[in-house]
Amino acid sequence: VPAARASALGADSLGHAAARGSPAGGTFPQLDRTLDRAVAQGFIPPEERAPVHDRVVQLARKYQFSPDDFATVALMESDGLNPRATNGRCHGIIQFCEGASSGAASVGMQGRAAEIGQKSVLQQLELVDRYFGDTRLGEQGPVSLVDLYLTVLTPAARTERRADAPLDIGGTQAKVLHPQGDRGRPITRGSLLTGL
């Protein structure tokens, strides 16, 4: 992973958080662009833009990640905070999936994951809070973009810290997340950092 790319994302080549100040201090251009686009697309009513922004910043403080990183994850998972985003099995702004050990079950909605898509972005952020708490996000210190994304995708994969080690991630993932965009090659921390 090029050092400039890792530095721009506030992470080293392993996806560890780099020193970049308080995760919720300052301005957040990626979050602001994502929210503006979400309002323009009709994902968020204009009057909910500020409360959604504030809630994301609160979650960032609580779980030690960058609000801009959360916006990046939301762009990858739901086209930028689309509460109705779905692939048929996973639903909502971070794609809560169906299954006994998946995100929907973690927030008490096993067997009802599709209902998540009927909730507003603000309501879904409450589920995100529960999910991040359940997955113990931030308990080991500041959270990198890669670890935030792995929490959404496959929390158990966070234990693999090597940049080029294959990660145990099931299902079909976006081509850009694989090394050199080759779906025949397993996703690694390095390929996630490059793809995100």
- What is the DSSP secondary-structure string of the chain? --HHHHHHTTB-TT-PBPP-S-TTSS--HHHHHHHHHHHHTTSS-GGGHHHHHHHHHHHHHHHT--HHHHHHHHHHHHTTT-TT-B-SSEETTTTEEPSTTSHHHHTT-TT-HHHHTTS-HHHHHHHHHHHHHHTTTTTTS---HHHHHHHHH-GGGGG---TTSPP---S---GGGSGGG-TTS---HHHHHHH-
Q: What's residue 172's pLDDT?
A: 84
Average pLDDT of the chain? 88
Q: Residue 69: its pLDDT value, please?
A: 98
As a whole number, mean pLDDT of residues 73-81 equals 96
- Would you say 110 and 100 are in contact if contact means Cβ atoms under 8 Å apart? yes
pTM, to two decimals: 0.86
Per-residue pLDDT tens over the stretch 141-190: 999 999 999 999 999 999 999 999 999 998 888 999 999 999 999 999 99
pLDDT band at 25 (very low <50, low <70, confident <90, very high): low
pLDDT band at 37 (very low <50, low <70, confident <90, very high): very high
